[in-house]
Structure 1
Amino acid sequence: MHIGILRTDSVRPEWVPTYGEYPDMFERLLLAEDGDLTFTTWNVEAGELPDTVDAADGFLITGSKSSVYDDKDWIRSLEGFVRECHAARRKVIGICFGHQLVAQALGGVVGKSDKGWGVGVNCYSVDEAAFDLADGDQFCLLASHQDQVVAMPPGAQRIATNDHCEVAGMTLGAHMLTFQGHPNSFRSTRERS
């Protein structure tokens, strides 16, 4: 399977020698599960996008310090690409900013949390046994966000929630899966400690 990583930010320069860039973190995480995966990265923040939704078997949208409602051309272009992926039923995973961008691109609403920042390890309850988790009905991920999905797009199903973030994960059909938390940060930090 070939995965397209849609990079929407850069890691702080002083952290790159230890953790790598965001695509490196996701590649390590995913290759640990399936060593046959291949990857291509597009630097969306720099204006790069795949020419077609067929450029990869699926796409992963990374986190970003930008807000999805910022008036930036690259964000609007990425929203258009997400809508194309949705229409073609191309698989998309969105993480943090990517979670929010998928929601907004498809008709949801993103805003600042009235509870402030969600930072650190956050545990989420799974809605209606959405996943077969070994430890039951919760999973934990690192979080660092103030923005969050406040209204899901039409047709979305919430799959994870907690007291700070009502829509911490969602699906749209069988082709889109998004999370507010960062599995890449948890895994890469844990592996290097």
Structure 2
Amino acid sequence: MRIGILQADAVIEQFQSVHGNYPGMIAGILGSAATELNLDVEFRNYDVEHGIYPDATDECDAYVITGSKKSVYDDEPWIAALKEYTCELHQEEKKLVGLCFGHQLVAEALGGKTLGADVGWCVGIHESEVIQSQWFMSDEELNPFTLIVSHKDQVIQLPEGAQLLASAEQCPNSMYSIGDHILTMQGHPEFTREYSRDLMEMRREILGVETYSEGVASLAKPLKKNIIARWIIRFMKGKPATE
């Protein structure tokens, strides 16, 4: 299975020597999950922030839209182009996964709404509750699940046809799906605790004392990102023929 990474941002240069870049993070966590599930995968990266896209949508079997420091409602040509491409993938029912910015962009592109959240920044490890179990989730993996988050925007209105799958206290629309071809989540299965800590330290003044302190303390919680990565790979592979 070939997975295309639609890269919407880059790790800041001073962090790359330690943490790598977003395509490598995503390939690492999803590649490990695929190995656990005895599935061969390869990855291709497309720097959509700078206008680089696949020559054809069938160049890959599935796509992932990464996170970004930008907001999906920013008036920038590359964001508008990515929304158009998302609509194209949706029309063709290509497998598509959105992470953080990707989660929000899919919603906006398909008729939902994303705004700055009243709660402000959400950082660190947060819990979500599955409210609608799906075929790619194993029962023993369900509740609660935890992911690292880093966002100040949220999806406040789901797009038409979306099914809410999971909800968090500070982010009610934390995971949704559309049909059997789109899965998005506000959290970051690709992030490590160390990268999350460095991001919070970089944004310490922006976050404020309370949000920063609670975010750093939350990094001691269990992290179930490997479980979510397996969900993503199962979803991309598709339903077993017996179902």
2:67 alignment partner in structure 1: 63
Give the drift of 1:187.
7.7
CA distance in structure 2 between the aligned counterparts of 1:106 and 1:136, rounded to whole angstroms = 27
1:177 alignment partner in structure 2: 183
Partner of 2:106, secondary structure, is helix
Bigger Rg, structure 1 or 2: 2
Q: Does 1:8 align with 2:26?
A: no
Q: Does 1:155 align with 2:157?
A: no
Partner of 2:25, secondary structure, is helix
Give the drift of 1:135.
4.5
Q: What TM-score do you get using the length of structure 2 for normalisation? A: 0.75
CA distance in structure 2 between the aligned counterparts of 1:136 and 1:87, rounded to whole angstroms = 30
Partner of 2:192, secondary structure, is helix
Matched residue type, 2:68? S
Q: Which moved more, 1:46-55 or 1:62-71?
A: 46-55
Give matches, 1:1-193, under 5 Å: 1-35=1-35, 36-130=40-134, 131-186=137-192
- Are the aligned partners of 1:49 and 1:78 in contact in 2 as well (CA < 8 Å)? no
Partner of 2:170, secondary structure, is coil
Cα pair distance change 1:46/1:157, threshold 3 Å:
same
Cα pair distance change 1:133/1:21, threshold 3 Å:
farther
Cα pair distance change 1:17/1:107, threshold 3 Å:
same
Q: Which runs of 5+ in 1 are unaligned?
A: none
- Are the aligned partners of 1:129 and 1:137 in contact in 2 as well (CA < 8 Å)? no
Cα pair distance change 1:171/1:55, threshold 3 Å:
same
CA distance in structure 2 between the aligned counterparts of 1:92 and 1:188, rounded to whole angstroms = 27
Matched residue type, 2:13? P
Give the drift of 1:128.
2.5
- Are the aligned partners of 1:108 and 1:153 in contact in 2 as well (CA < 8 Å)? yes
Matched residue type, 2:181? H
Partner of 1:32, secondary structure, is helix
After superposition, give the CA deviation of every residue in 1:60-99 in whole Å (9 maximum; x if it has no partner).
0000000000011111111111101101000000000000
Larger proportion of helix = 2
